Chains A and B, each alone.
Chain A
Amino acid sequence: MSTTRTIPDRLQSPLQRNLKSWETLLLLVAVGIFILNSFASPYFLDPWNLSDATFNFTEKAMIAFAMALLIISGEIDLSVASIIALASTAMGFAVQMGFGTPALVMVGLGVGLVCGAFNGVLVTRFGLPSIVVTIGTMSLFRGISYIVLGDQAFRGYPIDFAFFGQGYVWWIISFELALFGVLAVIFGVLLHKTNFGRAVYAIGNNPVAAAFSGIRVARVKFILFLLTGLMSGVAAICLTSRLGSTRPSIAMGWELEIVTMVVLGGVSILGGAGTIPGVVLAAFIMGLVTFGLGLLNVPGIVMSIVIGALLISVIALPRLWEKWKTR
């Protein structure tokens, strides 16, 4: 059977497609806010100030990368901030036991992995909805921190432990910013360049057809919960190191900021679509807005209003635009 008909691989080059993408819009928004900020405050363009500003988003963004994959696959993890609290508490406890920095790191990562595995088992083995499971573990994990710590705080972290949250690799590039960059590349490659990433998209678009195509859906989802737990552990190490202490209220409310970052980055909350570059840009945008408003001495409560309005408008505007165009 020979046919002369050939179907072209693509109609648009990847470059053309990227130019019309959500990420382009986010980039324009980011540049706009950057310019606005530089006019609004004379302190904004100072390199050290800008460097400080990155701490607004680096820890959250680390989790947001893993969360993006999880949400693309059609699941969610709302317990991430509570995993930070539990991991940080465990590290504080380990300090009291006299452990050194390498052991502390292992404890932080280990608690993250165990918490992620716990969520993953409940969702993939018992078939419970992840939003319910992780609302439950959100209370559970932080509750354990409260029981262990009460109204106290763990302090006395070793001097060299401070490097993760306060150290600099080169000039204004902090360890956290460098780690953010490395993780962005790793997660970007994982999602966009590997078989695993393709399976994540397939599951998010149609889990039944993905299973019918021989993809081990439960296993992929379990790995994503593990990854999200692990990244929460990484963020816990950075945050605890930066603050130098652990309180049970650490990272309170971060889960929603992280989900906001992911959605702002163009990840569909229904699963199936989204990119890591989009999440990176969203992280920068949220960092810039918080920092700019901070320089203008805008109180925190107003900041959250601005972030909320930004999210809704960035999500809604393209749809309104589409509607208006087709009319």
Chain B
Amino acid sequence: MQAVAPPTAPEGARTDPILALDGVTKIFPGVKALSDVALRLYPGQVTALVGENGAGKSTVVKILTGIYQPDGGQILLDGQPVSFATAQDAASAGVTAIHQETVLFDDLSVAENIYLGHAPRTRLGLIDTRAMIAKAAKILASIGAHMDPTVRLRDLGIANKHLVAIARALSVDARIVIMDEPTAALSHKEIQELYDLVEKLKAQGKAILFISHKFDEIFRIADRYTVFRDGQFIGDGLITDVTESDLVKMMVGRAVDQIFPDRQRLGGTEILRVVGYDHPTEFADINFTLHRGEILGFYGLVGAGRSELMQALFGITRPSKGVVRIDDKVRVIRSPAEAVAQGIVYVPEDRGKQGAITSLPIFQNITLPSLRRTSRNGFLRLAEEFRLARDYTSRLDLRAASLDTELGTLSGGNQQKVVIAKWLATRPKVIILDEPTKGIDIGSKAAVHEFMAELAAQGLAVIMVSSEIPEILGMSDRVVVMREGRIVDILDHDNLTPETLVRRAAGIEDGADQ
């Protein structure tokens, strides 16, 4: 058995970790998601895993729950190396996870949901309903959830459903509980109840890995912290030894080695003005303007309502209130077709589902919104279609065998270039890019950034939704920060620091701990 040398001395840890990751590396094609990271989980303690989007948090969760296999390093359970080849292996080792969105079954009872797949059996091999209900009631009581286990899940509210998900996670006799942003969907009161629950679990000696973007709850609930950045281990220790500022600095670090194109700011005329935009559930009181030649960044945590706002501007969802002015004229946009006609186009975040038709050839994807221009009297003209596709793909430096190739066979980066080309071919006035470089390789990223800069230089107005701080800082002229469906700040690019962005997005008061 090898001794694990911790990166910082586990001060105050009287016990050994139940579970530890040691030098774990995970490589995906083109991306090193985790590079030699360490993580230690102690019994009866909450460890907060902190990091920006793309830091590698979800990859770690997937490795701990047996969904991914590490490419290097080892997992130590009670100091012994183990491998979680399947989700079952991880579960039988006592690892369980409560996800942000848990898959539950509306038409089954609470007890059936808790014990689906591992229900107690009678001697005949049938489900022992009575024992199942009794055991479910016991688990529910242990987490302070007072509900009838025979009730159908459909009849419960969202908070109680969440408790059922937690009960399900605990029903497998877990020693290690992973909570992946457990408070994202909860109200204030429910969050308090969750804190109580976490205390109960601690008292039972369980090791808890707590993943959250919210600093107030990290400092409220966690005993220890571990910070990742860009798939690398940055540091860990006791939460009492750090301040919010320390954590933010560790998360953000120095700028990553990414080079962004130099940009000249144009100061063009106003093209888009959004006034008093409201949506019943997703966003409220949105006001901003956009100018020709400008790149306007939208920063915020996942769930801040940025994509929902963009989809409303593009006519996919309807706002309940508010006015959109394009070139100072009020425009009502009720469908994507109308948005395109008004010169607003949208490159969605979910490329596979919303952005691209992967089973059609490249050129057909590109010409789809421009068919009216390439056709004559409604009849296709293939030569025109190829000409248009060739024109725009060559400007984006697309790599493909032919324009007739099925789009799905290309890499993510090249698919994204096709989706962008598709919209540019419509000659828009405003292009909205939602996480334009998410999940694409470095080379394609640079190509997309360079092209964005070029578009802005030509006078196109660009809105860029991004959760990557370097990208926001490197590309935007101004940055709109959103939190919980509202704009909290519109910041000028000058004097903008990563720390400011993180603080505004997470809702940390200025000078709270300085």
Question: Chain A interface (Cβ within 8 Å of chain B)?
Answer: 1, 3, 5-12, 193-199, 201-202, 205-206, 208-216, 272
With a cutoff of 8 Å between Cβ atoms, the chain B residues found around residue A9 in the complex are 363, 386, 390, 402-404
Tell me the complex Cα distance, A211–B314, Å. 11
Binds A, one of B51-59, B93-101, B392-400: B392-400
Is the CB–CB distance between B359 and A10 below 8 Å?
no
Given contacts A195-B375, A212-B348, A215-B337, list 15 more A-B pairs with CB under 8 A: A8-B402, A9-B386, A10-B402, A195-B380, A202-B360, A205-B360, A206-B358, A208-B353, A209-B357, A210-B368, A211-B316, A211-B336, A212-B314, A214-B335, A214-B337
User: How many A-B Cβ pairs are below 8 Å?
Assistant: 104
Q: Is B454 an interface residue when CB atoms closer than 8 A count as contact? A: yes
Quick one: which of A7, A194, A202, A209 contacts B380, CB cutoff 8 A?
A194
Q: Which residue of A lies closest to B337 (CB)?
A: A214
Nearest B residue (CB) for A216: B337
Q: Are A6 and B394 closer than 8 Å at their CB atoms?
A: yes
19 A-B pairs with C-beta separation under 8 A: A7-B401, A8-B403, A9-B363, A9-B403, A11-B404, A11-B405, A195-B379, A196-B378, A202-B364, A206-B357, A211-B316, A211-B336, A212-B314, A213-B336, A214-B335, A214-B336, A215-B337, A215-B368, A272-B359
Question: Which residue of the partner chain, among B364, B405, B454, contacts A1 with CB atoms under 8 Å?
Answer: B454
Chain A residues within 8 Å of B386, by CB:
9
**Interface-central residue, B356, B357, B422, by most chain A CB under 10 Å:** B357
Residues of B participating in the A interface, judged by any CB pair closer than 8 Å? 314, 316, 335-337, 339-340, 346, 348, 353-360, 363-364, 368-369, 371-372, 375, 378-380, 386, 390, 393-395, 397-405, 422, 454
Contact (Cβ within 8 A) A3 B360: no
The residues of B that contact A201 with a CB separation of less than 8 Å are 360, 364
- Let me know if A212 and B346 touch, CB within 8 A: yes
- Cβ–Cβ < 8 Å partners of B348 in chain A: 212
Contact indicator A1/B395 (Cβ below 8 Å): yes
A1, A193, A208, A212: residue with the most chain B Cβ atoms closer than 10 Å:
A212
Q: Which residue of B lies closest to A196 (CB)?
A: B378
**B359 proximity list for chain A (CB < 8 A):** 205-206, 272
Bound: A202/B380 CA distance, A: 14
Cβ of B386 to closest chain A Cβ, rounded Å: 5
Cα-based distance from A141 to B380 in the complex (angstroms): 38
Q: How far is the CB of A132 from chain B (nearest CB, A)?
A: 19
Contact at B402–A209, with CB atoms within 8 Å?
no
Select which of B354, B372, B394 is within 8 A of A5 by beta carbon.
Answer: B394
Q: Which residues of A contact B353 (CB under 8 A)?
A: 206, 208-209
Which of B316, B393, B395, B404 has the most C-beta atoms of chain A within 10 angstroms of its own C-beta? B404
Tell me which of B355, B399, B400 has the highest count of chain A C-beta atoms within 10 A of its own C-beta.
Answer: B355
Contact B357 A5 (CB under 8 A): no
A219 shortest CB reach to chain B, Å: 9
B371 cross-chain contacts in A, Cβ below 8 A: 195, 198-199
Residue contact A194 to B379, C-beta cutoff 8 Å = yes
Specify which chain A residues have a CB less than 8 angstroms from the CB of B395 in the assembled complex: 1, 3
Closest to B335 in A: A216
Q: Which residues of B have CB within 8 Å of A210?
A: 357, 368
Contacts of A208 in B (CB 8 A): 353-354
